[in-house]
Every structure is written in C-alpha cells, then in structure tokens.
Chains A and B, each alone.
Chain A
Amino acid sequence: QSVLTQPPSVSGAPGQRVTISCTGSSSNIGAGYDVHWYQQLPGTAPKLLIYGNSNRPSGVPDRFSGSKSGTSASLAITGLQAEDEADYYCQSYDSSLRGVFGGGTKLTVL
C-alpha cells in the first residue's frame, strides 16, 4: 500500500479534461513538502511532468497543470489526446526525508 493515494484509473474522451488526485497526510504533503508528477508511457522510463506542485519542465505542454492544497495535490490534463494515455505518478517526501510515491493512475483515452 502506497503512502500517497491515487485512484487506480481515470478515463476521458479526446478533448475532455481529467484530473488525478494524490492524497497524503500531515507527515508528507501536509508537512509542506512539494509534490511532483511523472508520466510513464507504456514500456518506457518515467518522465518528469510537473515539479514543485505546479511547474512544468521545458517541453511539457501547458495542457498539463498541477496544484496542491493541504494534504492533497492534483494533476489536471485538458484537451485530452490519445498520446496522453499512460500511467501517472505523484511523488513527495515525508518527515524522515525519504521520498514517497503514489500507487499510480492509469489514464485511458476513450
């Protein structure tokens, strides 16, 4: 069982907006640690998608956005495209200064 909780799956039609939640606790996200998001396309290594709660690395489309509030964070994807079909993971730190990941969410584009 992962320290950060994500829904196992979400889905949406092309062009729609989907959100993926990441719920932690007062010892990780709620303690003020940043949340990061990674995208893992099938058969490939994870790739950084959002860092520091809401920042996009160079090259990541602005269709992807992140937010954080209290003990939770969210990833939003607007204008859904077929190429967005992937697994998405949130990651933060805990009070013992060790990293923690969410269990991952599989996004299906209908």
Chain B
Amino acid sequence: EVQLVQSGAEVKKPGESLKISCKGSGYSFTSYWIGWVRQMPGKGLEWMGIIYPGDSDTRYSPSFQGQVTISADKSISTAYLQWSSLKASDTAMYYCARHGDGDVFDYWGQGTLVTVSS
C-alpha cells in the first residue's frame, strides 16, 4: 500500500527557519517524482514544485522559486520542504503527493499545518 506520512504541525515565528518532511512507503521511492502543494487558510490548492528522488532533479513553480527549497534523501525515502526565513504569509497547510504516471498526483500525504505568528 502506497503511503505518504508527513511530519507534524509546526508553530514558528517570522524569520525562523523550518524543514518539514514526507516519508514514502509501499513503492519504489526513487522511481516517482514527489510534489508539494500549498493550501492557504480557506483558499485553493497551489502547485509548488516537484523533485525526482532518484537524481534530485527539481522543478519549481515560478511563484515559489527562491522562496522554498525542495529536497529528498533517498536513503530514508523522505522528501523535504524547507524555508530559511518564514513569513506570516507562509501560514498554510502543506501537502506532499506522489507524482504518478501521467503527471498526476495519485497519492497524498495527510498534510502539515504550518503557522507563522509573532
């Protein structure tokens, strides 16, 4: 069974750094892209970027390029989403999802709620 398990909710202050994780299991982690999707409170889904854990090839949406860093550690089947300096506007639910055949997000993690507040 394909599963993506994300790290727990975070509460941070503006300017702090953060790295959240997404651990895949039940499939060959290095054979599928993994993506990250943002959902701000009461808003829709936003495609942030994807990474291929096999070679760490990464593609970012222009809206998120330079704002976050997507990485992966294939030795532990885990993808990451990282901020170096959080802003209040980063407050959102973040989902990871497997990017399956046909460029579709076929399996999703449960989400990680990130709250940034002074």
Given A52-B102, A98-B62, A45:B110 Cβ within 8 A: yes
Q: Contact between B108 and A46 (Cβ–Cβ < 8 Å)?
A: yes
Judge whether A59 is part of the interface by a CB distance below 8 angstroms.
no
Q: Contact between B59 and A97 (Cβ–Cβ < 8 Å)?
A: yes
| Most B C-beta atoms less than 10 A away, residue of A91, A98, A104 | A98
Shortest Cβ distance from B49 into A: residue: A98
Shortest Cβ distance from A102 into B: residue: B44
Q: Contact between A46 and B47 (Cβ–Cβ < 8 Å)?
A: no
Bound-state Cα–Cα, A85 to B97, Å: 23
Closest chain A CB from B34 CB (angstroms) = 13
Q: Contact between A45 and B111 (Cβ–Cβ < 8 Å)?
A: yes
Judge whether A68 is part of the interface by a CB distance below 8 angstroms.
no
Q: Contact between B103 and A98 (Cβ–Cβ < 8 Å)?
A: no
When distances are taken between beta carbons in the complex, the residues of chain A under 8 Å from B107 are: 48
Query: Using a Cβ–Cβ cut-off of 8 Å, how many residues does chain A contribute to the interface with B?
Result: 26
Q: Contact between A101 and B46 (Cβ–Cβ < 8 Å)?
A: yes
| Other-chain residue from B37, B104, B110, B111 in contact with A36 (beta carbon distance below 8 A) | B104
Given A46-B45, A104-B44, A99:B106 Cβ within 8 A: no
When distances are taken between beta carbons in the complex, the residues of chain B under 8 Å from A45 are: 95, 108-111
When distances are taken between beta carbons in the complex, the residues of chain B under 8 Å from A101 are: 37, 44-47
| Other-chain residue from B35, B50, B59, B105 in contact with A48 (beta carbon distance below 8 A) | B105
Judge whether B61 is part of the interface by a CB distance below 8 angstroms.
yes
Closest chain A CB from B45 CB (angstroms) = 5
A-B CB contact pairs (8 Å), 22 listed: A2-B44, A36-B102, A36-B105, A38-B45, A38-B105, A45-B111, A46-B97, A48-B104, A48-B106, A48-B107, A51-B104, A51-B106, A91-B104, A91-B105, A93-B103, A97-B59, A98-B47, A98-B61, A98-B62, A99-B61, A99-B103, A101-B47
